[in-house]
Amino acid sequence: MAFGGFISVIVPVYNVRQYLHQCLDSLKRQEYPSFEVVLVDDGSTDGSGSICDEYAASDERFMVVHQSNRGLSAARNAGLAHSSGEYISFMDSDDWVSPHYLPMLMSAIERSGMPCASLAHLETFRDGHDCGLYDGHDAAYAKTTTGIVEIKDETSMQKALLRQRVNCGAQARLCRRDALLAIADDGRVFPEGLLYEDLATGYRIIHKTQGSALVYGNLYAYRRRHTSIMGNRDALHDEKVESAIHVAHELYRDMARWYPELSRGAASRCLALLCTVYSSLDMQERGNEEAVWREIRRYADLARGDAGARLKDRLAVYCSGAGRRMFSTFCRLYRACGFWDA
């Protein structure tokens, strides 16, 4: 199969020494003829930066940008600024991909005519466990996977993102460069200084690209680590609260303006994000708890009557109306069962 576009894969790297070889080796094995890998060492202190240098020295497709620690969004933006690809893909440095990851995404773009393609789902696994990806040897699987490319229009894709029925992250996507840069006048696609950057960015990309091609198949292994910022419930509470409130405000404002028919769904998505943050707070954090509770009540009222909401989001609306004590009990039960996921 002939492909026409040069791809830049941008990989932010921060203290992932034990996972980095698996990530970069999977990129070296890509069955795609023309791509580069832009590694952004975001101030690593565990030797990850040296590993990046080794790959750049041994493979001309790899290049390294070293910078002081500025966070995931700033690292992605730096990689984008140093990249030269007509198409852009982002990958987390503790994940790994099938050799057919880039070919299948590019094929979906070329077959659909869309400026963006995304894997519908990631193969999520917990750190320390195995995860199998398609390697090209299962003929039956290859026939199934390469035959399924779904084209979703703008509104349908936004609805799927709000309901979390498809991959919501920046990972496992391939976007035409001009379409990606169109969401930011200053070239900084990802909001620096905020957490939940994927949620803040994904819906804006879909708005500009007016939809997406969806690829079905186990091509991207997404590692869940308790030591990551999002995986660690006890990390960066102030930042999580401030970021969640800000991102929820902008998401709801934009969705209500662009797609009025999805405003309740947007409120449910904001509620889910805030419930995740609320459930991670300690009882002593009165200031943070009060701030998040006010936002929860607001979005619960806006989401009321959203028939398409997930069961736990509908329960959150009901319990918030029963008062803060009932809602706190509800959140503790969900947290104990590991159900909350922003």
Query: pLDDT per residue over 154-169, tens digit each?
Result: 999 999 999 999 888 8
Q: Are 99 and 32 in contact (CB under 8 A)?
A: no
The CA distances from residue 133 to 64, 75, 136, 222, in Å, are 27, 27, 9, 11
Q: What is the pLDDT of residue 198?
A: 93
- What does the angle CA 88 – CA 93 – CA 98 come to, to the nearest 5 degrees? 70
Mean pLDDT across the chain: 88
Distance CA 21, CA 203 (A): 32
Q: Are 14 and 42 in contact (CB under 8 A)?
A: yes
Percent of the chain topping pLDDT 70: 87
| Element housing 181 (H / E) | helix 177-181
Strand partners, 153: 211
Q: Are 34 and 7 in contact (CB under 8 A)?
A: yes
- Structure-token match 């590694």, residue found: 39
Please say if the pLDDT value at position 302 is more than 90: yes
Q: What is the pLDDT of residues 23-67, one digit of tens each?
A: 999 999 999 999 999 999 999 999 999 999 999 999 999 999 999
Q: What is the pLDDT of residues 146-200, one digit of tens each?
A: 448 899 999 999 999 999 998 888 889 999 999 999 998 888 999 999 999 999 9
Residues 6+ apart with CB under 8 A from 137: none
Token pair recorded at residue 37: 């890998």
Other beta carbons within 10 Å of 127: 14
Query: 86-90, 166-170, 228-232: lowest mean pLDDT where?
Result: 228-232
| Element housing 241 (H / E) | helix 237-258
Distance CA 318, CA 339 (A): 17
| CA nearest neighbour of 156 among 281, 304, 259 | 259
